[in-house]
Amino acid sequence: MNHFKPDITQMVSPFLLLYIVHATQIGEGILSFERHIARIAGYDAWISIILTGVLTTFVVVIIWRIVGEEQADFMTIHQFIFGNLFGKLLTFIFSLYLFAISMTVLVSYIEIIQIWFFPDMSIYFFMFILVMLILYISLGGFRIVVGFAFFSVFVTGFLAIFKYKAFTDGHFNNLLPVFNTPPKDIILAMEPMSFSLLGIELILIYAPFIHRFQSGLKWAVSSNIFTTIVYFFSAIAIFMYYNEQHIQFISWPTLQLWKVINFPIIERFEYVGISLHMIAIIATSCLYFWASMQCFHRITTFTFRKISIFCALIGISSIFFIHNFLIIEKITLTLSRVGMVLLFGYIPLLYVCHKIASGVKKKHANK
Amino acid sequence: MRTNNIWLILLCCLVLTGCVKTKILDDVELIMTYGFDWDPATEKYKGIAVAPVYGRSEQAELGENIRYTGEAKTLQEINSFIQTEAPFQVEVGNILAILFSEDLVTNGVEEIIHAINEAPDIGRDINVAITQGDTETLLKTEYKMELTLSRFIEKLIENNSKSNIPKMNLHQFNYRLIGDGMDPFLPILEQSETSIDIAALGMMKDDKLVHRIPYEQFFIFKLLYQDCEDHTYEFEWEEKSETIAISSIRSTRSIHWKSKNEVVIKADIIGTLTESKKEGVKTFAKKKELEQAVSKKLKEESKQLIQTFQELEIDPLMVGASAKSKFRDWNRKEWESQYPEITITPDISFELDLSNIVQ
Amino acid sequence: MIRKKFSHKRNQNKQSKKDVTNFDDLFHVMQASDDFKHFKLGNINNIEVFYYQSLINLDKIEVTLFEKLEDTKIDKIEVLENLLPFSETEITSDLTTIEDKLLTGYMGLKLTNNSQNILLIPAKFEVDRQVAQPEIEFSVIGPKLAFIEDINTNINLIRKRVKLPQLHVKNVEVGKVTKTNVAITYIDGIANQDNVDTIIQRISDIEYDQIMDSSFVSQMISDNAQSPFPQLMDTERPDRVSSALVEGKVAIVVDGSPHVLIAPTTLVEFFASYEDYFLTWPIASAFRIIRIFAVIFSVLITPMYVAVLTYHYHIVPGDLLGTLISSRKDIPFPPILEVLILELTIELLREAGARLPTKIGQTIGIVGGIVIGTAAVEAGLTSNVLLILIALAALASFTTPIYRIGNTIRLLRFPFIIFAQMWGLVGITIAAMFLVTHLLRLTSLGRPFLEPLYPPRWRDLKDAVIRFPFNVQGSRPVITTATDKHRINTNRTKLKRGKRK
């Protein structure tokens, strides 16, 4: 295995995994996931959140095993297991997926901004500015991307406080009786939930950028647990605030909840909330964008800068094709399926393959 | 070099400014109250929008209102109809109250409520009320008041929600309208000679008005409906032909299920004796006597109210929702057929904790 | 290595003046200037004296030098050197040295025996103002001394506070024409040698003909010269510089500049007044928080006004709505224009006030503030709500202790206003994201500018937004990567339990 060693100025401390993983996971999903999971598992869906949280924690541990002491990243492992050409092809598919997520997150948030703020906005120009911003962050290198994610976590944390309204005005009765949904539905609800917890697969790409990667496991796991807790409380709040029939009528329950919050100077918090939540969206999108570019950069001979600018242009032009809300929903659904397969199917498989391959190669080396 | 590029891009932004429609605060018609009437002849909704007129400086606050009317089948169409009358762009983002006429509510409001819910501009913490008679006449009358009409209606409902009636904003109304095992209710506004006041609470079955409870029953209803505080209750002690006022009432309400067909709504009230014209409460015996008398009276009144609800098959007290959270095999159809038969017992205990300042 | 580079540069200089090959040529060039004097002295008139009249303190020389040389007969220049009661004399034949010295206030003596050796005697004419009170970074409590234009006085002020032989001063000469003396000051054993080397390297690499002030150096050696943010702290307080030196930073003293540069530095340091250290820590922390709040307020309030009034009438509460609408009823402009007009007025007032003499400046402030403001509102050109907001924003932008960052903050709000006009609150968020990214990408001597916020360093956070008491600040800031990390032995600062203090 020939290892990739990034520039030391771009590396970050393992403690920051707490923020990176959390920022990747929290995106547009937190505004609407309650409806998706409640549709399948009713108001017992909070169990699915916990189950998904536990399952993803296992995936995090598996990722740590795959990466190993050598801090090998996805590209290295792929090439190690599947050979140069096929490995590169797999990495290429994977990076396409990352790039698609990066853009979908943006486009689906632009949809919210269009509905709430400016129905007549020129989305092409808006998208252009956002992609420029992402490019500006990404070209600064991994340290800058993480820095942005770091600040975004404080913003989402601040916004999470405003769910308090649901606890004061809601009805706890909505959650009772517990375990009234068949276990099968609870398991099924893990699928839309796992889309909300996607983001840990990126660890495979930025692993070499973390100092003392092995000591970062505790931070990554705590981050995953923290995200689960955030989702859990968010779901409890929304379930208390809306009843099971009501929630199905509402596209973004959290935004509707913010409508009720007012302060002496701010009458409708949702306008502030949507604006601030965009920071989290950009952070997520940017992490995915950076990871995707890193993959492309590693498997080709282009510089990071060139490939980023090229892909940014593709990203901007992509909005000419996906401007219909049904297409966005379709893409989101497809990506969530892919993400789930990747998380719970491909990564464990990769672990097994890696074990076998390293075993075989060791044997060869001994001979 | 790189930063240079970014500044160039910012410059581009400057050039391309002005792609979004502006809604400058003083150049829009801010609709603050929206009333809806039902026109049976054309089967259309008739919307009456009230917008305030602000003076040129704070001292010259006019407190005047402009009214616009429009008739159409959908809310958006009413809005654009209103636009034909208004000089500025009509904006509904600042609505403080939505009023429905009695006719409309008797026919059902679900359609128009869903239309309102679909507008992202409209908030959820806004007041919803029914007007006795047409909303048009109520809103079109000129009143002498310090505030603008919209602010007056908002403050009227909001302040009464703290003491006399339970709070019911658009979100809570939706919650009860859509949810299982509960029915919404709305305050009914009535036009008096010089002003507007809250006449009754309109109880609804799904989205239709079926019953109204008068001012006298507000207290009982609120007691059975939620925890409340800062309330006054006038108690007529018939045995002693005496009228006593009790104020600063704090009560806690809870539902206890004995079995599937038997439920107790428990309310513990703590109050202060304020107006006891003839005699004060000086001994423990006297206190106990008074407390029991009040409890008994309230129990009777509650029983009556609950019975009415059961007869009408409406559930504003959300007993159904409570049953749903209690019993695993709850389902809506079964519950609806059962509801009139189950025994709902009010268990009300009253306790005096303070007396008045005059002995 | 550095010295090599340096001497290499010297050689280059020499080559560029090809025509000057011997002393006579140099003499010829200098003679063209009318303030260059030369005459002969001595018994047999064999001592040539030459100097620049404008650079020499003649009184000092006349008494000692001329009297002694009146009737002497000297044929060796070393004898002459021993004869004269001056220290720092030098005998050299190196043309560059001779040129440099003559131009910095030395007097040259030469024997007319065709020798190229020249005796240089210091006779500098000092014209510098007295050390005075700080004007920009004034503090109510604490020392009231500021640097002046003379480099030696400035270093003297620093040395007075840091009494250590390890306080090293490295001199570098920059500016092709001005040949400004720049002293890089640091404490050996505390400051990281990498930082010192980087600074010396960057300063020696400066290619420019004139260095008139430390801000020239600052702009030329900062990591990102295009940024509106200063990446080197400049201060006129000797106590601040000394304190920074002790923390392990490097100070750059430039001759002719009353401002000393400190590097590396971080963003939060620009919001810390040195007076914070003279107050008890809860009060100092409160002031710091107020200052940071003021900055955020100053940048965001007018964009918010534009955003809310142009797009988001929803978020204005009912009680405020009447006030806002009434105040804007007569105004013919959209909020963006209203804001730009008023912001421009404030900028004009400030600029005019800064350019004019103090007394007239004050008048301008009053005239502008009261007359123009009131008149604008009465004429219906701006709303009085906005007038209050703009005045507050302007006031808030002056709370920053370092003048330079105050300028940045004043200009920063204009892109925000433009974005607010484009997309309301979303636009402000986008602008804020661009700003944060820019700050994240900035470095000061290669160290992150946003430290200790990002990367999060808890040790440095003790003296960032909140200034914790001295006894818990046991180590030097991580940002300086000091060789000697520990400031004090924290074990000894703890209160001894059960003992009376």
Could you read off the pLDDT of B282-338 as tens digits, one per residue? 778 888 888 888 888 889 989 999 999 999 989 898 888 888 888 888 888 888 888
Asked if pLDDT for residue A18 goes beyond 90, the answer is yes
Would you list which residues of chain A are within 8 Å, Cβ to Cβ, of chain C?
Answer: 9, 12-13, 15-16, 113, 117-118, 121, 126, 129-130, 133, 136-137, 140, 143-144, 147-148, 150-151, 262, 264-268, 271-272, 274-276, 278-279, 282
Give me the mean pLDDT over the B218-222 stretch. Answer: 88
Average pLDDT, chain C: 84
Domain boundary among B157, B179, B213: B213
Asked if pLDDT for residue C14 goes beyond 60, the answer is no
Which of B21, B77, B20, B24 lies closest to B46 in space, CA to CA? Answer: B77
Looking at residue C1, what is its pLDDT?
Answer: 40
Asked if pLDDT for residue C3 goes beyond 80, the answer is no
Instruction: Report yes or no: A56 and A200 within 8 Å, Cβ to Cβ.
Output: yes
Of the residues C297, C315, C419, C465, the best mutation for testing chain A's interface (the one with the most A CB atoms within 10 Å of its CB) is C315
* Percent of chain C predicted with pLDDT > 70: 91
Give me the mean pLDDT over the C328-354 stretch. Answer: 86
Nearest CA in chain A to C428: A275
Q: Which helix (H) or strand (E) holds B247?
A: strand B242-259
Asked if pLDDT for residue C477 goes beyond 50, the answer is yes
Taking the C-alpha atoms of residue B129 and residue B190, their distance in angstroms, rounded to an integer, is 10
Asked if pLDDT for residue A147 goes beyond 90, the answer is yes
Looking at residue A2, what is its pLDDT?
Answer: 58
Q: What are the distances in angstroms from CA A81 to CA A1, A355, A362?
A: 10, 9, 13
> What would the DSSP string read from start to end of B319-357?
HHHHHHHH-TT--HHHHHHHTTTSEEEEEEEEEEEE--S
Cα of first residue to Cα of last residue in chain C, in angstroms, is 54
Please state the separation of Cα A344 from the chain's center in Å.
15
Asked if pLDDT for residue B18 goes beyond 60, the answer is no
| Cβ contact, residue pair B19, A122, below 8 Å | yes
Interface of C with A in 296-355 (CB under 8 A): 311-312, 314-318, 320
| Cβ contact, residue pair C315, A133, below 8 Å | no
- B89-91/C180-187 β-pairing: unpaired
Asked if pLDDT for residue C365 goes beyond 90, the answer is no
Which of A299, A257, A298 lies closest to A277 in space, CA to CA? Answer: A257
User: Tokens in use for C489?
Assistant: 């032995």
CA dihedral C476, C477, C483, C488 (to 10 degrees): 10
Domain boundary among B192, B213, B234: B213
Query: In which domain, by residue range, is B230 found?
Result: 226-354
B176/B232 same-domain check: no
Q: Which helix (H) or strand (E) holds B34?
A: strand B33-39
| Domain containing residue B241: CATH number | 3.30.300.210
Instruction: Report yes or no: C236 and C135 within 8 Å, Cβ to Cβ.
Output: yes
Looking at residue C5, what is its pLDDT?
Answer: 45
Peptide bond into B40 cis (omega under 30): no
B70/B161 same-domain check: yes
Peptide bond into C452 cis (omega under 30): yes
- ipTM > 0.85? yes
Domain boundary among B186, B213, B240: B213
Could you read off the pLDDT of C386-403 as tens digits, one per residue? 988 998 998 888 888 888
Asked if pLDDT for residue C181 goes beyond 80, the answer is yes
A118 Cβ under 8 Å from any chain B Cβ: yes
Asked if pLDDT for residue B17 goes beyond 70, the answer is no
Looking at residue C233, what is its pLDDT?
Answer: 92
- Phi, psi dihedrals of residue C382, rounded to the nearest 5°: -135, 160
Asked if pLDDT for residue A314 goes beyond 80, the answer is yes
Looking at residue C20, what is its pLDDT?
Answer: 67
Q: Which has the higher per-residue pLDDT, A86 or A363?
A: A86
For residue C40, what are the β-bridge partners?
C48
In a domain, B206, yes or no: yes
Q: What is the 3-state secondary structure (H, E, C) of C145-188?
A: CCCCCCHHHHHHHHHHHCCCCCEEEEEEEECCCCCEEEEEEEEE
Asked if pLDDT for residue B11 goes beyond 60, the answer is no
Looking at residue C499, what is its pLDDT?
Answer: 56
Looking at residue C103, what is its pLDDT?
Answer: 83
Taking the C-alpha atoms of residue A193 and residue A340, their distance in angstroms, rounded to an integer, is 9
Give me the mean pLDDT over the B134-160 stretch. Answer: 87
Q: How confident is the model at residue C287 (pLDDT cuts 50, 70, 90)?
A: very high
Which residue of A177, A245, A268 is in closest CB contact with B123? A268
In a domain, B9, yes or no: no
* Percent of chain A predicted with pLDDT > 70: 98
Instruction: Report yes or no: B340 and B297 within 8 Å, Cβ to Cβ.
Output: no
Looking at residue A255, what is its pLDDT?
Answer: 92
User: Tokens in use for C22?
Assistant: 């011997």
Distance from CA of B181 to the nearest CA of A (A): 11
Taking the C-alpha atoms of residue B268 and residue B295, their distance in angstroms, rounded to an integer, is 10
B196/B246 same-domain check: no
| Cβ contact, residue pair A272, C425, below 8 Å | yes
Which of C235, C154, C213 lies closest to C404 in space, CA to CA? Answer: C235
Nearest CA in chain C to A110: C426
Asked if pLDDT for residue C356 goes beyond 90, the answer is no
Which of B176, B165, B262, B304 lies closest to B223 in space, CA to CA? Answer: B165
Which residue of A144, A265, A276 is in closest CB contact with C440? A144
Please state the separation of Cα A173 from the chain's center in Å.
32
Could you read off the pLDDT of C182-213 as tens digits, one per residue? 999 999 989 999 999 999 999 999 999 999 99
State the chains in contact with B (3 or more Cβ–Cβ pairs under 8 Å).
A, C
- Phi, psi dihedrals of residue B212, rounded to the nearest 5°: -130, 140
Could you read off the pLDDT of A183-207 as tens digits, one per residue? 899 999 988 888 888 888 899 899 9
A101-115, B122-136, B243-257: which has the minimum mean pLDDT?
A: B243-257
Which residue spans within C301-400 are E strands per DSSP?
Answer: none
Query: Which CATH code fits A8-357?
Result: 1.20.1740.10
Question: At residue C103, what is the residue type?
Answer: L
Q: How confident is the model at residue C6 (pLDDT cuts 50, 70, 90)?
A: very low
Taking the C-alpha atoms of residue C309 and residue C336, their distance in angstroms, rounded to an integer, is 9
B65/B159 same-domain check: yes
B346/B253 same-domain check: yes
Which of A221-225, B1-5, B21-25, C31-35 shows the highest mean pLDDT? A221-225
For residue B67, what are the β-bridge partners?
B50
Distance from CA of C354 to the nearest CA of B (A): 28
C-chain CB neighbours of B56 within 8 Å are 326, 329-330
CA dihedral A142, A145, A148, A153 (to 10 degrees): -90
Asked if pLDDT for residue B58 goes beyond 70, the answer is no
Looking at residue C110, what is its pLDDT?
Answer: 81
Taking the C-alpha atoms of residue A255 and residue C317, their distance in angstroms, rounded to an integer, is 19
| Cβ contact, residue pair A13, C455, below 8 Å | yes
Of the residues A144, A171, A263, A267, the best mutation for testing chain B's interface (the one with the most B CB atoms within 10 Å of its CB) is A171
B203/B239 same-domain check: no
For residue B47, what are the β-bridge partners?
B36, B70
Looking at residue B4, what is its pLDDT?
Answer: 61
Of the residues C224, C325, C327, the best mutation for testing chain B's interface (the one with the most B CB atoms within 10 Å of its CB) is C325
B300/B339 same-domain check: yes
Burial class (CB in 10 A: 0-12, 13-18, 19+), A247: buried
In a domain, B20, yes or no: no
| Cβ contact, residue pair B178, A243, below 8 Å | yes
Instruction: Report yes or no: B153 and B171 within 8 Å, Cβ to Cβ.
Output: no
> What would the DSSP string read from start to end of A69-125?
TTT--HHHHHHHHH-HHHHHHHHHHHHHHHHHHHHHHHHHHHHHHHHHT-TT--HHH
Q: Which helix (H) or strand (E) holds C427?
A: helix C403-441
In a domain, B266, yes or no: yes
A56-60, A66-70, B302-306: which has the minimum mean pLDDT?
A: A66-70
- B127-131/B185-191 β-pairing: parallel
B157/B230 same-domain check: no
Could you read off the pLDDT of A206-256 as tens digits, one per residue? 999 999 888 999 999 999 999 999 999 999 999 999 988 899 989 899 999
A168 Cβ under 8 Å from any chain B Cβ: no
Could you read off the pLDDT of A99-141 as tens digits, one per residue? 999 999 998 899 899 999 888 888 888 898 999 999 999 999 9
Taking the C-alpha atoms of residue C259 and residue C237, their distance in angstroms, rounded to an integer, is 8
Of the residues B126, B324, B327, the best mutation for testing chain A's interface (the one with the most A CB atoms within 10 Å of its CB) is B324
Q: How confident is the model at residue B278 (pLDDT cuts 50, 70, 90)?
A: low
In the three-class reduction of DSSP (H, G, I as helix; E, B as strand; rest coil), residue B292 is classed as: helix
In a domain, B63, yes or no: yes
* Percent of chain B predicted with pLDDT > 90: 15
A-chain CB neighbours of B171 within 8 Å are 256, 259-260
Asked if pLDDT for residue B47 goes beyond 70, the answer is yes
In a domain, B10, yes or no: no
B205/B236 same-domain check: no
Looking at residue B148, what is its pLDDT?
Answer: 84
Nearest CA in chain B to C437: B3
Could you read off the pLDDT of B70-99 as tens digits, one per residue? 888 888 889 889 999 888 888 888 899 999
Which residue of A136, A243, A267 is in closest CB contact with B175? A243
A-chain CB neighbours of C314 within 8 Å are 267-268, 271
Asked if pLDDT for residue A364 goes beyond 90, the answer is no
B-chain CB neighbours of A43 within 8 Å are none
B169/B75 same-domain check: yes
In a domain, B142, yes or no: yes
In a domain, B5, yes or no: no
- Domain ranges in chain A are 8-357
Q: How confident is the model at residue C10 (pLDDT cuts 50, 70, 90)?
A: very low
Give me the mean pLDDT over the C415-441 stretch. Answer: 94
Could you read off the pLDDT of C38-67 as tens digits, one per residue? 887 766 777 788 888 888 877 767 767 777
Looking at residue B230, what is its pLDDT?
Answer: 79
Could you read off the pLDDT of C135-165 as tens digits, one per residue? 888 888 889 889 998 898 999 999 999 999 9
Enumerate the H helices of A262-303 as residue ranges.
269-299
Q: What are the distances in angstroms from CA A121 to CA A116, B27, C307?
A: 11, 20, 15
Taking the C-alpha atoms of residue C307 and residue C326, their distance in angstroms, rounded to an integer, is 18
B182/B281 same-domain check: no
Looking at residue A102, what is its pLDDT?
Answer: 93
Q: Which has the higher per-residue pLDDT, B53 or C250?
A: C250
DSSP classification of residue C62: I
Looking at residue B130, what is its pLDDT?
Answer: 93
Q: What are the distances in angstroms from CA B174 to CA A190, B32, C287?
A: 29, 20, 48
Which of B292, B326, B327, B298 lies closest to B221 in space, CA to CA? Answer: B298
Asked if pLDDT for residue C15 goes beyond 50, the answer is no
The count of domains in chain B is 2
B287/B319 same-domain check: yes
